[in-house]
C-alpha cells in the first residue's frame, strides 16, 4: 500500500477514535427543546396569574426532570415561580424557582419527579407579589400547542427547554436518529439514516484514497 494512502487511513483512524472519545466523555443535560426562540416577552403574569403551554409532545427518549425558560423581571429580583406538569387534568410533577433570579435568566425549574408521558401541559404560576414575564415568540411557532392565561388563549409560544440528568453524547445518538426519522419518507426505517451516514463516510474515504493513489501513479 502506497504511503499517501497509509497516511490517509491513519488520519481517518485517529479521527474516528477522537470522535468516539468526544461522544463518550462529553455529557449533556438536554432532553429536548420546544423550538420557540426567546425573541420577546411572550406573556406577562401579575401576582397569582398562571400561564399554561400545551399540549407539549415529549419525543421518545425525551423524559425530563428540569425545565428552563428565560424570565423577565426588569429592574428588580424575580418573584417565586411555581410549576406543574399535567397530563389531562392530573398533575404528574411539581417544581418551582425561588425568588431572586435576574432579568433574562433561565434558572432551572427542578421537578419533584421525572416526566415521561407522551403529551403534557406545563403551567407556570407567579407565586410572588410583583409582576414578571416569560420569554417566547409571537405567533404560533409550534402549530399544535397554545398558551392560556386565565382561560384566555394567546397566539404565542414559550421558549421552553427540557433537561434531564447528565448523560454522554453517545447515549443520545439513538434518540437523535429516531427524531431524524420523524421526517423520513414512508416505509424508510429510522436506522437507514445511521447506515447512510456510515456509507457516505466510507465512500468519501475510499474516493479520496483512490484519488491519492492515481495522483501518485
Q: Exposed (0-12), middle (13-18) or buried (19+): which is 177, by Cβ within 10 Å?
A: middle
- Is 50 exceeded by the pLDDT of residue 169? no
- Is 80 exceeded by the pLDDT of residue 24? no
Residue ranges of domains in the chain: 3-28+169-216, 29-167
Alpha-carbon distances, residue 41 vs 20, 53, 130, 151 (angstroms): 40, 15, 16, 19
93-102: long-range contacts, CB 8 A cutoff, minimum separation 24: 93/65, 95/66, 95/67, 96/127, 97/71, 99/128, 101/71, 101/73, 101/77, 102/73, 102/77, 102/78
**Percent of the chain predicted with pLDDT > 70:** 62
Give bridge partners of residue 136 from the DSSP assignment: 40, 158
- pTM score over 0.75: no
pLDDT of 203 reads 66
Q: Are strands 81-87 and 71-72 parallel, antiparallel or unpaired?
A: unpaired
- 26-63 core/surface letters (b: 16 or more CB in 10 A; e: else): eeebbbbebebebeebbbebeeeebbbbbbbebeebbb
Cell of 144: 399544535
- Is 80 exceeded by the pLDDT of residue 97? yes
Nearest to 156, CA basis, from 41, 33, 28, 17:
41
* Distance in angstroms (rounded) separating the CA atoms of residues 192 and 43: 42
CATH 2.60.120 fits 29-167, yes or no: yes
Q: Dump pLDDT digits (tens) for 106-165.
A: 999 999 999 999 999 999 999 999 999 999 998 767 888 999 998 899 999 999 999 986
pLDDT of 170 reads 45
Amino acid at each position: 500500500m502506497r504511503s499517501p494512502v497509509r497516511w490517509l487511513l491513519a488520519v481517518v483512524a485517529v479521527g474516528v477514535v477522537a470522535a468516539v472519545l468526544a461522544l463518550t466523555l462529553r455529557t449533556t443535560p438536554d432532553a429536548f427543546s420546544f423550538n420557540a426562540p426567546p425573541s420577546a416577552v411572550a406573556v406577562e403574569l401579575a401576582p397569582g396569574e398562571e400561564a399554561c403551554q400545551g399540549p407539549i409532545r415529549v419525543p421518545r427518549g425525551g423524559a425530563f426532570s428540569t425545565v428552563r425558560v428565560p424570565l423577565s423581571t426588569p429592574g428588580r429580583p424575580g418573584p417565586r415561580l411555581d410549576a406543574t406538569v399535567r397530563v389531562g387534568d392530573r398533575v404528574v410533577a411539581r417544581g418551582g424557582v425561588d425568588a431572586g433570579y435576574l432579568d433574562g435568566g433561565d434558572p432551572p425549574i427542578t421537578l419533584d419527579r421525572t416526566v415521561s408521558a407522551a403529551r403534557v401541559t406545563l403551567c407556570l404560576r407567579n407565586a410572588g407579589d410583583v409582576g414578571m414575564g416569560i420569554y417566547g415568540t409571537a405567533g404560533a411557532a409550534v402549530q399544535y400547542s397554545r398558551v392560556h392565561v386565565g382561560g384566555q388563549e394567546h397566539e404565542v409560544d414559550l421558549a421552553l427547554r427540557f433537561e434531564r440528568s447528565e448523560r454522554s453524547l453517545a447515549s443520545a445518538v439513538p434518540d437523535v436518529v429516531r427524531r431524524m426519522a420523524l421526517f423520513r419518507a414512508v416505509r424508510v426505517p429510522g436506522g437507514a439514516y445511521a447506515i447512510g451516514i456510515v456509507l457516505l463516510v466510507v465512500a468519501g474515504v475510499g474516493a479520496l484514497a483512490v484519488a491519492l493513489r492515481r495522483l501518485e501513479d
